[in-house]
Amino acid sequence: MADVKQIIAHRVAQELQDGYVVNLGIGLPTLVANYVPEGIDISLQSENGIIGMAGVAKGADIDKDIVNSGGVNVNVYPGATFFDSAVSFGIIRGGHVDMTVLGALQVDQEGNIASHIIPGKMAPGMGGAMDLITGAKKVIVAMQHTQKGAPKLFEKISLPATGLKAVNMIVTEMGVIEITDKGFELRELAPGVTVEDIQAATAAPVHVTGEIKEMCMPEE
């Protein structure tokens, strides 16, 4: 069976549409690039100034001068474009990124997200998250549903906010949740997971309207 991160990344990739400009956050979100559906052509954008980014570079393919925003060596596709970070953030702030996929520490039922700092602890910082959350047309949080059994979905975030009323969808190993006027709306459940399971792991009401679909899983 695929591991948790693969399950989440595979499901997020089903939201990609042909022609999208997409920004993938560091960590789990980068795995989404491995599951782009057949026939879908997207352009991966990196905050440090790339459009046309490919996967992580390995071995002889590594070019030390080509890194993503997390400092990881990556490949690029033919025709990729390089530019300075001012232009890159102009693209983001100008609303030209169709979808961003980010991790999170907390998300609440209003779509508020905390993703960049835990007071009193060392953290990598926000990077381009504030700009992406505000500028991207669609914001998907890709994360495990709990942290060592503790909820990450709340009625109200308690950590410093990275963005307010910005999240559209949350994909975890348990299911797919959309943010609506009602709060957390359950759309899909992973195989073997019940509504009761996902509610027990969520520190806010999870609403069910209509049919709940089964979340698609990656092939073995």
Catalytic pick from 47, 110, 178, 185? 47
Strand ranges in the chain using DSSP code E only, listed in sequence order = 21-24, 43-46, 50-56, 74-82, 99-102, 106-108, 113-114, 138-142, 146-147, 150-151, 153-154, 169-171, 175-180, 183-189, 206-207, 213-214
**15 in active site:** no
| Token pair for 140 | 């998907």
Q: CB of 47 within 8 A of CB of 69? A: yes
> Which amino acid would we find at residue 175?
G
**How far apart are the C-alpha atoms of 45 and 74, rounded to whole Å?**
12
Backbone angles phi, psi at 62, to 5 degrees: -70, 125
Say if residue 122 is exposed, middle or buried (CB neighbours under 10 Å; 0-12, 13-18, 19+): exposed
Catalytic residues: 47
